[in-house]
Every structure is written in structure tokens, then in C-alpha cells.
Amino acid sequence: MITLLDICLPTTVFVLSSILTIPAVKTIRNVRHRGNLLKLCWFSAVFSSAAAAVANLTLKYYSQQAIDPYVSLPMAGGSSAIFSSAFLVDAVSIYMAIIFMAVSAVTFMFSLFYIDSGEEFSERYYAVMLMVTGCVIGTVFAGDLLTMFIFWEATAAGSSFLVLYNKTPRSLHATLKYLIMIIIASAFIIYGLSVIYALTGTLNFWAAKRALMTLQDKGLLELAFAFMAAGYSIEAAAVPFHMWLPDAYAAAPSSSSAFLSALVDQGSYYVLLRVLIYILSPPTVLPWQLIFAVMSALTMIVGNLLALTERNVKRLVAYLCIVDVGYNLVAITTVTPLGIMGNLYFFLVGGISTAAAFMAVGILNRMGFKTLDEFFGVGRKAPLTSLALVLTIFSFIGVPSLAGFMAKYIVFTSAIEANLSWLAVIGVLTSVIQAAYLLKIVNTMYGKKPVEESKIKEPKRLLIPVFILVATLIVFGLYPAPILNLINPVIEQLTFIP
Amino acid sequence: MPNTLLSTLLLPALTIPLVYILGKKSPKAAAALIAMMCICDAALLSTTVPVIINGKGHIYVESYQWVPALRSSFTLFIDGISFLMAIVTLILMLAAAIFSIDYMHEKKGLAEYYALLTLLSIGLVGVFLTSNLLLFYFCWELMLLPAYFIIGGWGYREPYRAAFKFFIFTHAGAVFVLLGIGAIFMVTGDLDMFHARSALMMANPELVKWILISLTAGFAVKMAAVPVHMWLPDAHSEAPAPMSALLSGVIISAGAYAILRISLGTVFPAVMATDFASQFLHGLTIFGIMSAFFGSLIALVETDIKRIIAYSSIAHMGYVLFGLSLFPFQEATIGTVLHLVNHAVSKGLLFLTAGAVMKRLEIRDVREMGGLAGQMSTTAVSSTIAALSIAGVPPFACFMSEFLIFVGAFRTVKIDGFYTIPVAVMLIATVFSLAYSLRFLSHVFFGASKHDKVADVPLLMKLSMVFLAVLVVAFGVWPSLLIQFINVTFV
């Protein structure tokens, strides 16, 4: 029997440890010897207890023999139930929680080495990071639109501090832009939610969906959809709402960019998926496919073209995040089990590959290589970092034996299956453009003579998390079955779409 | 042995780390290890020969669980055509590895070079051995990565430029293959070539038509058919000679093999009954003629030693396309497969000899060469054998296969009037190939000597050239050695 405690435990662990982190790191800083080791111990304790909480929930969920696979738990019963927060466990949330746990642990490890704990305020950085992870996992287990909204806005607000960390004029500017966009988005979403509440009298996923299915006049629902779609698209950075993302991710310290792209970005797709597929599920509730098909085509084209002209490598990786939104939207738009499978696989692979790319580029940025002109001959100067970056790049291009291929393959196949062949064709053509600008990076890294021939010492510690991610890309590229097996229960639960 | 085919892929995979570690200490030993690996792999493959020859209609298959969610399993199979292509790949890999020892010895980073070469062999052998389309695509793109890095890292002039062109062109082709594979999965729900063939029969012919076009267009890029040939001259001429031999020998042949096996073998039967069938075949003929003429004519005026050979590859892929367009006729298809094998060996040899010449003279313009026959006699003899084979002169290898293609063509003319002119035109094209081959030989090896005291290349390079030269002659005199494999498996 799953209780409320089981569901809330992962989030609670993160939030509590986030509060405890500030005094803990401050104390550790005062200890002269083995400070790093102590810090590592503290954070591995945090992550292992959170992992234990998620594992506990997973085991309990899969061992239960209920007829209804959706376990919904409101905080309060009776007549006030519709106002109270509710939590939900189903196969999707379990899957998302697992991959978020795993990826956040690796990106956190990177931040731990990247942001030196000797720095003032670094403890706040770690604390915010843990808090954001907790909120993302909270979003995943949210059972009604309002709870999801609250957790998600907390995530977004927390992320802005991660962008701000360096406190340079550029990062201030980017954070401001990010915050403004987020506030506009939340205003839109709140407006949409209130319309849905007015129409149905509830915000609970299932109750709202049931009420919307029998709705006669869909005019107001379309209005609500327009606002919610715009709001959530801003947060997912789909074209034409993408402007904030490159600024924010390029101005943030690389550890933040890696973390944000792996968790917050993927979380925003998850929110989009939850709302579009599980609540506004077409064709019974609202046929919204065409709008999103157009938007995904635009995102793929514009994102890739912007990246094609970009010279700053970190910004280029940020554009890759936008391009990934496009591929994700293709899969969401198909509304087929195969598409959802592709989506969920993409959440993992896209997160890992963008995080790995940001990390590798972050290491190279630290060595002083920022633009493509400075990347001349980097392959020989920093061979290990370059190897990691190149493998990630090939995963982005979609070369088989790296996980990016399998993700793209499932996405495009699902598009063909859903009679959206034109979208698949645009997808593969833009992925050729993608191959062109990404190979340009490889060419400059290996093909051009470096300006000076000195070799640079690579930070071995920072490379550990990068190579963990790259190894995952290779393993799941060659043998994706374990992940697809995890996704399988989700597909079996998708009984409400044809 | 139950896991023969899996072992043929695992063996190179396990060799990669060994090659890398050994290559750090002694590159020679790494090359020797690759040679050993090729021989062992070929021996492993040969154990399936009795099944191929005797098992009428029975195909040797091995299947392992892989991605059940996408209804894909790790299926490997072998029949005569696959066997020949895989063996010729290993033969060329063996020659390339031995040739590399002296050819590459002053280059840097040889450990990486040999490791990439081994990785390449997995992709190449895998392409010919799998019947699962997803796995096929895996291997198809696995050829690309190591080839990209070998051309870029160890090529001439601006190698990464050529490598970039190679990657983008073939990757763009590959995404169309991917679209086709996705559509096959959508229509049939199965990614096995043999299961898909029957399932596609039930599908809407209009859709199948587009699948066929998309797949064939993608494969044609790898094959470097005109007008998507632009990557080939750069990639082949800038790559180091052993890699050129592999590129021209097997990588472009893989494109032709894929058209035969997947476009024509799996998808084509579903549209056989419609008007589109003959239009499609005629289209292949026209592209074949274009490639044959374009390649031969440029080869006739080109002055760069490796670009001549590269353009001749385009011309020969033209013959192959022409042969494929005669698909319903057994002789032509047997001839085509035979030509793939013969061309691979001959062209591999020709590139190695060109590499040997370049190694000694360090120039590339054929007009500045001459009279090398006296000084580099082994190279000259091997090169002559290769060039004459490419020209289609009996008794060397390519003569027999071209002859078979034309026999098929003449039989087709009786049924389909369309082919009358193409056959005549193709016959004219063969004259051009004789012309450029003779021009190549006379410029490089005969005439007045322009260079003094050019020593012949080291023993191991000679050895690998002689090895291939013997094969070219042997395949020419004894074609039935190869044909027996193709005969029994032809469906």
C-alpha cells in the first residue's frame, strides 16, 4: 500500500538536505584536512537516501496488485479535496523519477568539482541545486494541475539562481530575461488553469479529463488551451518562445547549464507531455496535433539554422537544447505509443547528451577555448575532453551505436506511423544540417593546426562525471533494451489513446 | 559451431583494445594482429561454406535478443552473396593492414589508426551479415565513423575537408535509408528483411514505391552514382592508400549490395506487378549510364594519380547499377555480384600500387611520372594487372563479370526494347575504360624515365600487392570458384 509519505519522501529528502547543506558545507570548509572527502560523503549520503526513497516507491508500486494502475492520493478528503494538493504515482512518474535521480546525481558530482567549495556562497549553490532537484521530482509526482504548477514554478524560480551564480553583467541580464519569461509563462498558465477549473470544477488530472471529455462547447477550452500551450511552450523553449534559453544557458556556469539542460529542460517536456497527452488527450478532448506539429517543425528548422551560424560553442550547445525540443515535440505530436516511448527515451538521452556536452565545453572554456576560432587543434591539446565532446556530438548527429540514434529513430518512425511523414522528412533533413555544423566543430578540433603547440593539463576529477555520461550513451546506444523495458509499463498504461 | 556469425563480429570487437594497446608499443605488431584477426575471421566464416553450398534454399541464420520493444532482434545470416562480400572485405582488410606497416610507418598516432581500422571491419562485415534492418543501419553508419577519422587524421592536403564532405554526403543519404526503414517498420511491423518481403506484398503499392525510392536514393549516395558522386573523388584521393583501397573496394560496394539485397530483394517484389517496376529499373539504367560515362570521361583527362582511379570507381559503379537494373535476369545479377567482388580486389590493388608510387616519388601528377616499370618492377606488374582488369581485358578478373552483365543485357533486349540503346552505349563506355587504364599505365610506368634511382617499395608492401594481384588473375581464370556461391543462393 502506497502512502502519502512514500510519495513525498524523495522530495522531502532533497528539500531537508538542501536546508542542512548550508551549515554542513560551512562546517566542512573550516575543517582543514580532507574537506573534499567529507563533502563527497555528505552529498553521497543525500543522494543515496533519496535513491532509497525512490527505490522504495518503485518497489511498492510494482508489487501492488491494484486494478487501477494510477495511485492518486489527495492531501485532504471530503468536500475540500478538490482544493487540496494531490499526488499521483503511475509508470511515467516512476520512470521520470528514476532517470532524474540518476542524471542529477552525475551532474551534481560535476558541479561539486566545478564550483569550488572554497568559494563564498558555493554552499548556497549546492543547496539551490538540491532544492531544484526536489522540486522537479515533486512535479513528477504531482496529481493535479495546481500542484504540478506550484512545483514547476518553484523549479523555474530556483533555476534562475543557478543561472545567476557568477553575478557578471551578462548573467544578470540573462537571469532577468529568464525570470520575465517565466513570469509571463506562469501568468498564461494560471489563466488557462482558471478557465479549466471554471469549466470542470476540478483540477485533478483524471476528474478534469473526464469532465472535459463530455464537454459540449469547446470554445472556452480552446482558449484555455491557447494560454496553457503558450505558457508551457515558453518554459520548454519551443520556437517562437525560445529566446531566453541560449542567453540563460550560455551565461550560466557550465555546471548549471549541464544541470538545467538535463533536469529542468527535460522536466518541462515532461510537464508538456503530461498536460497534452494525459489531460487534453486527442482526439477525444481536443485535437491539438496540427498546432504542435507546425511548432515542432519550426523549432527544428529555426533551432538548427541558428546553431549553424553560431560561433560561440557554449551557445551552440544551448541551441542544441532547442533543437531537442523540436524532436521531442515531434514525438508528442504523434500521440502514439511508439511516439511516447520515443519521448521518454529522448528525455533520458537528450538530458545526458546535452549535460555531457555542456560539461565538456565547460572544461574547455576554463582552459580558454570559447569560440570556434579558438577551438583550433583542441583535439590534440586536450585529448580526453575532446574525445568526450566528439562522442557526444556524434550522439547528437544520430550516429548509431550512440544513444542519440535510437532516440531519433524511434521519434521519426513514430512520426511516419502517425501519418506525419512530412514532419519526419523535415526532421531528418534538419538533422543533416545538424550534422554539418556539429562536424564543423569536430573538424576545427582535429583538422586545424593549434595556435600554440603546448599541451594543457586536463582536470581528471571533472572528467569522471563526463565519462560516466558518455559511457551511458554508448551502452544504451548499443543495448537500449533496459531503458525500453522500464518504459514498457508506461506504454501498457496508455490505454486511452488509439 | 552454433555462434559462428556472432563470433565473426565479436572477434574484431575484442581485438580493438588489444590493437590499441599493442599499437602504443609497436605499430607493426598491431598491424600483424589485424592481419591475424582477418585470417581467423575468414576461417570462421568459411566454416559455413558447406551449409551455403549444399543447403538448397536454406539460409544459415543466427538470432539473438536485442531490442524487443522495437521488435528487433540481433539477427545474422549468411548466404553466398553475403559470404563473398564479407570474405572480400576481410581480404582487402588483410592487404590494407600489411600494406600500412611500411606505408604509414613515419606517421603519428598509429595506435589509433589501427584501432579505427579494426572498428571499420566490424561495420563492414556486419553490413553484409545481418538481416535485421535496424542492425543493418547500425553497421552501415559504423562504417562511416572510422572512415571519417582515418581520412581526416591520416589523409593528404586538407584531409578533414574531404572527410567532412564524405561524412555529410553519406550521412544525408543514410537518413533517407532511415526514413525507408522507418516506413517499412510502420507498414510491416517487422524489421527482418525476409519477413518484411512477404509483409510488404500486402501493403499499398503507392507507399511501397516511396519506400523504394527513398531507400535506393540513400544507398546510391554511398555507391557514388552520378549525380550524388561529389564526395568520392575527394575522399578517395585524400585518404591514405590503404583506406582508399577499402573505400573504393568495399564501402561503395556496400551501397550496391544494399540496393541488391534491400531495395531489389526486399521491397521491389511488392511493386513488381505495377508499372512502376519497369520505370524504376529504367531509372537505374539511366543513372548507371550517366555514372559510367561521367566517370570514364573525367578519368581520361584527370592528371592526379589517385583521382584517375577514383573517377574510374564512379564509372564502375555505373556498370554495377546497369547490372542491377537488369535484376530479373539471373546472368546479369550473378555478373553484378561477381563484378562487385572482382572490382573490389582490382581497385583495391590499383589504389595500393598508386600509394606505392606516391610513397616513392611524393608527387601526384601523372604527367611528371614515367618509366617506373624498370625501377619498381613488382609495383609495375601488379599495377598493370589491376589496370587491365579494370579495363575489362581477359583473362583478368573484371572481364568475366562485365561479360556476364552484358550477356544478361542482351537477353533483356529481346524482352524489353528500352534496353537496346543503353546496351550499345554501355559497350562504348567500356572502350573508354580501356583508354583511361592504358593512359594511366603509359604515363606512370612506361615511356622515358623522369626520375633516377627510384627503389622499389619494401617487402611487405610488395607482398600485399602480389597477394591481391594473384587473386585478380585467379578470379579471372577461374570465375566459377566465385560463381558457385552466387548460383545456389540466387532467389
What pLDDT is attached to residue A82? 62
Distance from CA of B69 to the nearest CA of A (A): 6
H-helix or E-strand containing A73? strand A71-74
Contact (CB<8Å) B164/A400: no
Nearest chain B residue (CA) to A492 = B69
> Which 45-64 residues of chain A touch chain B by CB within 8 A?
none
Instruction: Say yes or no to pLDDT of B489 above 70.
Output: no
Distance from CA of B466 to the nearest CA of A (A): 35
Burial of B324 (0-12, 13-18, 19+ CB in 10 A): buried
Beta-strand pair B60-67/A86-89: unpaired
Distance from CA of B11 to the nearest CA of A (A): 17
Nearest Cβ partner of A409 from B144, B149, B178? B178
H-helix or E-strand containing B217? helix B205-223
pLDDT band at B373 (very low <50, low <70, confident <90, very high): confident
Contacts of A485 in chain B (CB under 8 A): 69
Higher pLDDT, B352 or A494: B352
Full DSSP string of B128-183: HHB-BHHHHHHHHHHTHHHHHHHHHHH-SSSHHHHHHHHHHHHHHHHHHHHHHHHH
Full DSSP string of A407-458: HHHHHHHHHHHTT-HHHHHHHHHHHHHHHHHHHHHHHHHHHSPPSS------
What pLDDT is attached to residue B57? 59
Nearest Cβ partner of A488 from B69, B161, B186? B69
What pLDDT is attached to residue A450? 77
Lookup result for grid cell 556498370 = B319
Nearest chain A residue (CA) to B136 = A400
Instruction: Say yes or no to pLDDT of B481 above 90.
Output: no
Q: What is the mean pLDDT of residues B330-342?
A: 90
Taking alpha carbons only, the member of A400, A270, A55 closest to residue B67 is A400
Is residue A127 within 8 A of residue A4, CB to CB? The reply is no
> Which 164-183 residues of chain B touch chain A by CB within 8 A?
164, 167-168, 171-172, 175-176, 178-179, 182-183
What pLDDT is attached to residue A3? 83
Q: Is A194 on the interface with B (CB under 8 A)?
A: no
Contacts of B209 in chain A (CB under 8 A): none
Taking alpha carbons only, the member of B220, B224, B214 closest to residue B284 is B220
> Can you give the pLDDT of all 498 residues of chain A as single tens digits?
788 888 889 999 999 999 999 898 888 888 767 777 888 888 999 999 999 999 999 998 888 866 667 777 777 666 666 666 788 888 899 999 999 999 999 999 999 888 877 777 788 899 999 999 999 999 999 988 889 999 999 999 999 999 998 889 999 999 999 999 999 999 999 999 999 988 888 888 888 888 888 888 888 899 999 999 999 999 999 988 888 999 999 999 999 999 999 999 999 999 999 998 888 887 778 888 899 999 999 999 999 999 999 999 999 999 999 999 999 999 999 988 999 999 999 999 999 999 999 999 999 999 888 898 888 888 888 889 999 999 999 999 999 889 999 999 999 999 998 989 899 999 999 999 999 999 999 999 988 777 776 778 888 889 999 999 999 999 999 999 999 999 988 888 887 766
| Cα A241 to Cα A182: distance, rounded to the nearest angstrom | 11
Is residue A376 within 8 A of residue A348, CB to CB? The reply is no
What pLDDT is attached to residue A207? 82
Cβ-based neighbour number of residue A282 at 10 Å? 16
What pLDDT is attached to residue A13? 93
3-state class (DSSP) for residue B75: strand
Contact (CB<8Å) A443/B183: no
Q: A–B: how many Cβ contacts below 8 A?
A: 91
Instruction: Say yes or no to pLDDT of B12 above 60.
Output: yes
| Cα A64 to Cα A234: distance, rounded to the nearest angstrom | 38
Lookup result for grid cell 575504360 = B433
